[in-house]
Amino acid sequence: MLTGSMVALVTPFTKHGNVDYTLLAELVEFHINHGTDAIVSVGTTGESPTLSHDEHVDVVRATVEVAAGRIKVVAGNGSNATAEAVQLTERIAPLGIDGFLNVTPYYNKPSRAGLLAHYRAVTEASDIPQILYNVPGRTCCDLSTEIIAELSNFPNVVGIKEATGEVERVKAIKDACGDDFILLSGDDPTACEFLLQGGHGVISVTANLAPQAIKNLVVTACAGKREEAEAIDEPLRSLHAGLFVEANPMPVKWAMARLGWIEENYRLPLTAPELASQKVIEAALQSAGLLK
């Protein structure tokens, strides 16, 4: 099952702008050792828009090789061009992943018919389970409950990463798609309540920095232990907020560099956060006990 605490893993770069596969391997090992249930490779946080298709495939391949079956690997396969999404799916499918994360086709603003046709083409390109990814704040494309219900009938669509922050959608989607349809939070600030409302896990940016805490939160909240879950989440709230003070993944990469885990390298058009934002992120790290 593609549930539990899943990290939206960053893609580290060298000072020359290439993918740093040595650091990538270290990050995969870090999450294996800290209880993360799955790595989501080359999603938004992994800077998929700035990777070439070859790099995209190579990052997934490297992640799977290091994981070596010790942790599940989910790979982003979305694009705003259906043919590109199909091509990525076909290239990644043989690498040994456990699932795909399939973002809505951004920028184009497709109709209901277009969305259904897009997802039919991409899901038919592989029989590996696919998780829908709804993040209208980035894509200008919102999957309605009705469309999600239709897509849930596609043979290998198993769930959705819901990143709107609207926790009331949990019940609506559950009612429309049934209890077996996997509901994953893609919004760290509201993830605790999402899980308490019946979600099955998270795809978390915060987990890059606090994997064990996010794992504990998921286990506790999914067990319906509200007071305990909120107590776990409380010291993380400033971190959730700080990591979105500017567009993801700029804050989380800066934070990881500040802790000495990766080099502070970005790929244009992404850059280092503004100085004011850096102060917010640093304060959040201190509040979470990650920086003394």
148 is in an annotated binding site: no
Cα dihedral 19, 130, 141, 146 in deg (nearest 10): -170
Angle at 70 between CA 134 and CA 193, to 5 degrees: 35
The C-alpha atoms of residue 252 and residue 274 are separated, in whole angstroms, by 13
**174: closest CA among 188, 164, 156, 159?**
159
160 HSE (CA, 13 A, CB side): 30
Give catalytic residues, as residue numbers.
Answer: 133, 161
Structure token pair of residue 45? 């946080």
If you write DSSP's letter for every residue of 54-81 in order, what string do you get? HHHHHHHHHHHHHHTTSSEEEEE---SS
If you write DSSP's letter for every residue of 101-159 in order, what string do you get? EEE--TTT---HHHHHHHHHHHHTT--S-EEEEE-HHHHS----HHHHHHHTTSTTEEE
Beta bridge partners of 203: 6
CB atoms closer than 10 angstroms to residue 165: 16
131 is in an annotated binding site: no
DSSP SS3 for 14: coil
The C-alpha atoms of residue 234 and residue 193 are separated, in whole angstroms, by 12
Which residue has tokens 């919004």? 187
Residues comprising the binding site for pyruvate? 45, 203
Residues comprising the binding site? 45, 203
